[in-house]
Amino acid sequence: MRKNNLILILAIIIIAFLLYERFSEKRASSQVLDQLREVPTEIDENSRLKESDIDKINNYRQNAITTAVEKIQPAVVSVNVIKTRIVRRRTSFFFGFYDEIPYNIKGIGSGVIFSKDGYILTNSHVVEDATEIKIILTDNRQYDGKIVGIDSVHDIAVLKVNGNDLPFARLGKSAELIIGEWAIAVGNPYGFLIKDSKPSVSVGVISAVNRDFAENEQGKIYRRMIQTDAAINQGNSGGPLVNIYGEVIGINTFIFSESGGNIGIGFSIPIDRVKKIADELIQYGKVRNIWFGFKVQDINPMLASHLGLESLDGVLVNYVQKNSPSQKAGLQKMDIIIEINGNRINNTEDAEMAVSDISVGDEMKLKIIRNKKKMSLVIDAVEYK
């Protein structure tokens, strides 16, 4: 009897517990529904953001990059060009007669105004062979562009427009760049598709500096280039690469890509070199040729053995012109040049690259080996006449 009573009591406790749990769930659900009914359908005026709060948020959104973009954007221009190609057309199948007709090709690039006088920097490949150049500013003003000068070897061109109240950018220093610092690429990619004169902005870092490339098929030499992962696309050529101060540190020139799109490997011409070239083009209309007065050749194993050299590094001087700057500086035939302006020289290609940045009025500092002794010489870069 006692056993049955115990079982009955346990059953009553279990049933009571289950009923309590179910009642608690219904009550909680009811409270949630009541709270939902109390939520207002419209935002109460007191819950709206105040204008002072919005101003604070906007201030937080501003940073060094947005400030730099505000400075540079007005000075970035779209460079629209028309290049005329002559196409041969066959007029008679039987007699083999041909005529030549002009064919216009549209092109687009970017540029940056760098003086209040309306001088513009861009790439030479953007405007070479152009028969018409139209410069479009971010405020939709349009001007006819005039070519002041072109340095095809270094891929730099200076253009000129005549206008009032022209915005212009400040040129910085590329020699002071730090790998990893912010870099901002500004230009007009795919300008024919985007009907808007305002430039596009992409942000990355300085990935590397002093990237050298061999002379390409067009005869252009790209040396000590700035590498960046800021997106550079078609139409960006000639646009500025900018630091967080809004200063131009390079001119965007080309990318590595198999598809034609950006993969994060772009290259810009350092602004220190661009400034020297621009000064030459503005003052003389060209980059003046330099007279060095000597020639060099590579050192092969047979020549090294004959001269008793321990290494193939350097280039051998095989000719020194009489009364030339090199002869006046003391350079002699059979000297071995191992360094030019701090650049290690292993072959003639290195030597050509090393002198490509030298302008009239500069000094060319050489380290040479003569009779197995190291020496230093300084050759003045004078204009070839």
What pLDDT was estimated at residue 57?
Answer: 65
Per-domain residue ranges for the chain?
52-287, 290-383
Top-confidence residue, 54 or 285: 285
Question: What mean pLDDT do residues 80-84 have?
Answer: 86
pLDDT at 105: 78
**Same fold yes or no, 52-287 and 290-383:** no
Q: What is 290-383's CATH topology?
A: Pdz3 Domain (2.30.42)
Q: Which pLDDT value is given to residue 43?
A: 47
- Other CB atoms within a 10 A radius of the CB of residue 169 amount to 22
Alpha helix positions (H), the chain:
2-38, 51-61, 64-72, 124-127, 271-284, 301-307, 325-329, 348-355
- What is residue 25's predicted lDDT score, i.e. its pLDDT? 59
Report pLDDT for 262.
62
- Fold that domain 52-287 belongs to in CATH: Thrombin, subunit H (2.40.10)
Q: What is the pLDDT of residues 339-382, one digit of tens each?
A: 999 999 999 988 988 888 888 999 999 999 998 899 999 999 99
- Say if CB 151 and CB 281 are below 8 A apart: yes
Mean pLDDT across the stretch 151-172? Answer: 95
Contact status, residue 100 vs residue 107, Cβ threshold 8 Å: no
- Determine the Cα angle at 266 with ends 261 and 270, to 5°: 150
Q: What is the mean pLDDT of residues 21-48?
A: 56
Mean pLDDT of 43-48: 54
Which residues are marked as active site? 125, 155, 237
Which pLDDT tens digit goes with each residue over 165-201?
A: 999 999 999 998 999 999 999 998 665 555 667 888 9
Average pLDDT over residues 238-242: 96
Please give the mean pLDDT across all residues of the chain.
84
Distance between CA atoms of residues 128 and 65, nearest Å: 33
Whether residue 307 is predicted with pLDDT greater than 70 in this model: the reply is yes
